[in-house]
Structure 1
């Protein structure tokens, strides 16, 4: 992930590329703060998990907004899938709204079916 030319990175001890990589790893994959710390340490970057947490709190929303803007827009045609599932012997209904490109727009799962 490329680092933004953002003045909010000014004054930080680490370069913007390292901060953006750590924040991207933490929010993109189901990794703990300590796992991100270990991955950076493997690459020779010594940073604590507390610092990664601070970066996530400080820069996470900006990264999320930028990623959301780059997502493809939902198509004008969509359809609704309905699936009946049994989980531990209890019947559940799963509905998914999918556009023509196969992108999942919304998911709803309930233990009762509204009539």
Structure 2
């Protein structure tokens, strides 16, 4: 099973990882500024989401979503093709019926009016 960076560090499932609050981010920043350069510290903190929606997307997650979309598109294409086939078949039958019926109707009308 693939794990996210957060899961690898905490051994907790992804849905239990909570984004850092501003208070926690500030505390980490203040505690580490003496040890790590400011620029490196800021780069490190950008890898931790400030909100749940800010969590970076993993390749595995993106690949899984694209695969789901591919499956849905294939299903949709199959339904559309089946519908088109039905409609074209119906239209073709109607046109053949009209081609066969038109001369017959013309002959009957000509006989009636003469």
Whether TM-score is above 0.5 comes out as: no
Larger radius of gyration: 2
TM-score between the two structures when normalised by the length of structure 2: 0.27
Normalized per residue, the structure richer in helix is: 2
